[in-house]
Amino acid sequence: MFTAQPQHASLSSSKIQHVPTFRPSETIAGGQKIGGFTRKKSNNVTGLRSRVIRAVISSSEDSKTSPGGANVVEKSKGNNGALSSSSVSGGIEVRAAITIRKKMKEKITEKFEDQWESFINGIGRGILIQLISEDIDPVTKSGKSAESYVRGLPKPSNHPYILEYAANLIVPNDFGCPGAILITNLLDKEFYLVDVVVHNFSEGPQFFPANTWIHSRKDNPESRIIFKNQAYLPSQTPIGIKDLRREDLLSIRGNGKGERKMHERVYDYAVYNDLGNPDKGDELVRPSIGGKEMPYPRRCRTGRPPTKKDSLSESRIEKPHPIYVPRDEAFEEIKQNTFSAGRLKALLHNLIPLISSTLSSSDNAFTCFSEIDKLYIDGVRLKDEDQKDIIQNQFISNLMNQIFTVGGRLLKYEIPAVIKRDRFSWLRDNEFARQALAGVNPVNIELLKELPILSKLDPAVYGPPESAISRELIEQELNGMTLEEAIKNKRLFILDYHDMLLPFIERMNSLPGRKAYASRTIFFYTPTGILRPIVIELSLPPSSTSPRNKHIFIHGHDATTHWIWKLAKAHVCSNDAGIHQLVNHWLKTHACMEPYIIATHRQLSSMHPIFKLLHPHMRYTLEINALARQGLINGGGIIEACFSPGEYAMEISSAAYKSMWRFDMEALPADLIQRGMAVEDPSMPCGVKLVIEDYPYAADGLLIWSAIKDLVEAYVDYYYSDDNYITSDVELQAWWNEIKNKGHYDKRNEPWWPNLATKEDLSSILTIMIWIASGQHAAINFGQYPFGGYVPNRPTLMRKLIPEEDDPAYEKFLLNPDQTFLSSLPTQLQATKVMAVQDTLSTHSPDEEYLHQLQNLQSVSIKDPEVKKLFEKFSDKLEDIERTINKRNRNFSLKNRCGAGIPPYELLLPSSGPGVTGRGIPNSISI
């Protein structure tokens, strides 16, 4: 057994003599013995960051001096070209290069703290590292170990925010290959560890990617475990680090008790019981979402105490104070400073209140269309006195200048893509229909398979189930085709929000400034390849005073019918905007991904190949969801203030989860088949053939889906040689069971959950998750401002019902239909708020990580060259897909992509630059 005694050196010494101490029988101060070797207690999560700044392995490696003057032995090339190190008495000396990232923007006090920390590190009292071998010590029955303090001044770096420290360790001659490093932070505050590279092993440099915050020992006495960039199934874990693998997962799960602290890395589940704020008043009381009555996916637990008035509601952390997310889930500083966190927080905490104070006293309807145009031409003039705080805060002032073109007192918006080429396109029926296939919400249109259309709602409550849309109404629009021929030839389609909304309409319409219908819209796909709306049904709940609750609208040719048809379309668009935001966007991507992320951290070690595969697709999602609970979907938040459902928004989202959501139907091919938009065809790449070939979302989406599927299948096949490895993988089985039984607890007994017994099962599950996080979210998120930034195209709420002939407002409508239409739209304040939110949600961050960049990200955490080839092949495939999509967008036979004034469909183009580009597929849901 090798033991090296410490020899301390002063700062003035030109050489710092090595200080490692390895005594398996002893316990170091503040630590504990685990299986025979000594380590500091490890804190919660080993969270990796997909954004990696690699440690520079410099050419000075061959010199005898490491950064800060630490002694480094000379190395020589072995026969195989690997570096080998000189032996020292009793062992081999190796060097660890520790790369730390500083804050980009520091206060004066923080700069002094940095200098003090450099001094502490220099004398070897700041950071302790312990190297753990993959081989077991026969005496202690644990991984062989060696430890040392970081010593010396940081090495100069080309990057102003990167510091590289060094530590020398002496390991026994039979140490073997290192598998883990324990990091103990003895400083007073956390630091961001980029990576650790250990040199002088005969196998070459050993890389330990970290990209994680290392907490201070004063916050938590446990040290952090950082594993090497090698993927291991649980059964294949080297014996020397098996205990660490198990312990790391246990620490991440926590004990389910107490309020979480901001430095912690504990992942656990809770219901959505923090959306209301009953302590502030009855108007902010909201029900808990999640449970038998209102089922919902689970969110990340924060453990805050209950409110004073309601013991079942969790007290809120109001803006601008942060909500807990596990430490490594929070936005990195580059994202905070250059975009999303800073942008979204500036929006919610500064700009929205500023807009409100400017416009709320005169919150009027638009009186003419030119007033809407002025938002892009002249902008909104903000009050000087309300800008005082913002102007004093230089960062927020610069940020808002950058984002919103705020100059002086002016808030201007870019012209949305939908009207940039043709400002009147939104008026046309074919554009209204085209957006059902190529807009921001192209996932609700279905094939109409039979007539009459029947509701599934209780007829005792909601009246007869038959729709008022009749054969005669449809056939008069079919150009001589019979109903049977149209159905047989798959020419009729429907956008049906009747059953989803009707149970809420009465309550929605009781809210001030809200008037909505439950809608059905029938489309005819013409022989010339144009989708055309032909009938709209708008329904209200039946009542004794109004037995006629189903209203039918067709596009007539006289002026009055034309304007009424336009109002009916606006109500459909309002419903579409609400369902898009609450169901397809928030619920099916953001909320449903959260349990997958929590379970992945709790049950899959960061060494697990499936963790490594999923990790880039989990980035920032918990943080953006926490921000949404704080300012978007909360009681009184932006969604309630500016969308039709108002305070019932999350209840509608819950009802949709209860009646509609199925994990297996989130697969793109399965969803298209279920909606009748595709039929099974084994000869096609994804096994499906589109009913409408010119369906841009589906056509491009299937290309992305197929590429993801091929990558996942090859990846799974590489790590799992047969199905027995799937069923015997204890972490993997626990992961899937937890997703079903904890993360989606309210759906745990559903029969449609896939089994996890074969490689095919695993590949299918993973493909769905990666598709949801990447392609699906991109398709329904980044078009929000391009399509919704022009209020008449997609009003988020309607404030008036359509006037009828016996209505006093009908005469006003006849005299001034423009004014009736505009006064039915959101107010100027509501519209401006929504535009600000949509602009933010549609913007890519400068540090965004895109799907085609996976090979760069994964090369850091997976060193296997065969696996790297899989990701390189995937990247090449995405480049081919981008070329294919661009070619499609120049094909004038595809009328939903090309034509006069029509913006090309680019939402599923893999790459993008920063900003509102209307294209680009990020790896994860990060906005």
Question: Alpha-carbon distance 85 to 90, whole Å?
Answer: 14
Question: Alpha-carbon distance 807 to 22, whole Å?
Answer: 89
Instruction: Tell me what the mean pLDDT of segment 200-223 comes to.
Output: 94
Question: Alpha-carbon distance 321 to 112, whole Å?
Answer: 26
Nearest to 434 by CA among 317, 525, 335: 525
Name the pLDDT band for 566 (thresholds 50, 70, 90): very high
Is the pLDDT reported for residue 247 higher than 70?
yes
Of 504 and 387, the structure prediction assigns the larger pLDDT to 504
Of 861 and 65, the structure prediction assigns the larger pLDDT to 861
Structure tokens at 763: 């590949």
Of 318 and 11, the structure prediction assigns the larger pLDDT to 318
pLDDT digits (tens, 9 = 90+) for 141-173: 889 999 999 988 888 777 878 889 999 999 999
Of 590 and 330, the structure prediction assigns the larger pLDDT to 590
Question: Alpha-carbon distance 680 to 693, whole Å?
Answer: 14
pLDDT digits (tens, 9 = 90+) for 815-853: 999 999 999 999 988 998 898 889 888 988 888 899 999
Structure tokens at 536: 């709209």
pLDDT at 75: 33
449-461: b or e for each residue (b if 16 or more CB lie within 10 Å)?
Answer: eebebebebeeee
Instruction: Tell me what the mean pLDDT of segment 71-90 comes to.
Output: 38
pLDDT at 89: 57
pLDDT at 248: 97
pLDDT at 346: 58
Q: Is the pTM of this model over 0.85?
A: yes
The mean predicted confidence, pLDDT, of the chain is 85
pLDDT at 339: 45
Lowest mean pLDDT among 50-54, 407-411, 481-485, 705-709: 50-54
Name the pLDDT band for 410 (thresholds 50, 70, 90): low
CB 575 within 8 A of CB 562: no
Instruction: Tell me what the mean pLDDT of segment 114-125 comes to.
Output: 76
Of 621 and 321, the structure prediction assigns the larger pLDDT to 621
Q: Hey, is 895 helix, strand or coil?
A: coil
CB 78 within 8 A of CB 161: no
Q: How far is CA 311 from CA 208, 278, 306, in A?
A: 45, 10, 5
Name the pLDDT band for 4 (thresholds 50, 70, 90): very low
Q: How far is CA 369 from CA 431, 432, 819, 897, in A?
A: 19, 19, 9, 27
Per cent of the chain over pLDDT 90 is 70
pLDDT at 152: 85
Burial bucket for residue 351 (CB in 10 Å: 0-12, 13-18, 19+): buried
Name the pLDDT band for 545 (thresholds 50, 70, 90): low
Contacts of 676 (CB under 8 A, 6+ apart): 446, 447, 449, 490, 691
Is the pLDDT reported for residue 341 higher than 70?
no
Instruction: Tell me what the mean pLDDT of segment 809-817 comes to.
Output: 94
| Active centre residues (catalytic) | 585, 590, 777, 781, 927
pLDDT at 664: 97
Instruction: Tell me what the mean pLDDT of segment 70-79 comes to.
Output: 32
Lowest mean pLDDT among 167-171, 346-350, 855-859: 346-350
Is the pLDDT reported for residue 877 higher than 90?
yes
CB 686 within 8 A of CB 708: no
pLDDT digits (tens, 9 = 90+) for 262-275: 999 999 999 999 99
Q: Helices (H), strands (E): how many in the chain?
A: 32, 25
Is the pLDDT reported for residue 77 higher than 50?
no
Burial bucket for residue 872 (CB in 10 Å: 0-12, 13-18, 19+): middle
Q: Hey, is 129 helix, strand or coil?
A: strand
Instruction: Tell me what the mean pLDDT of segment 488-495 comes to.
Output: 97
pLDDT digits (tens, 9 = 90+) for 17-69: 333 333 333 333 333 333 333 443 333 322 333 333 333 333 233 333 333 33
Question: Alpha-carbon distance 290 to 629, whole Å?
Answer: 14
Is the pLDDT reported for residue 282 higher than 70?
yes
Question: Alpha-carbon distance 767 to 667, whole Å?
Answer: 8
Name the pLDDT band for 501 (thresholds 50, 70, 90): very high
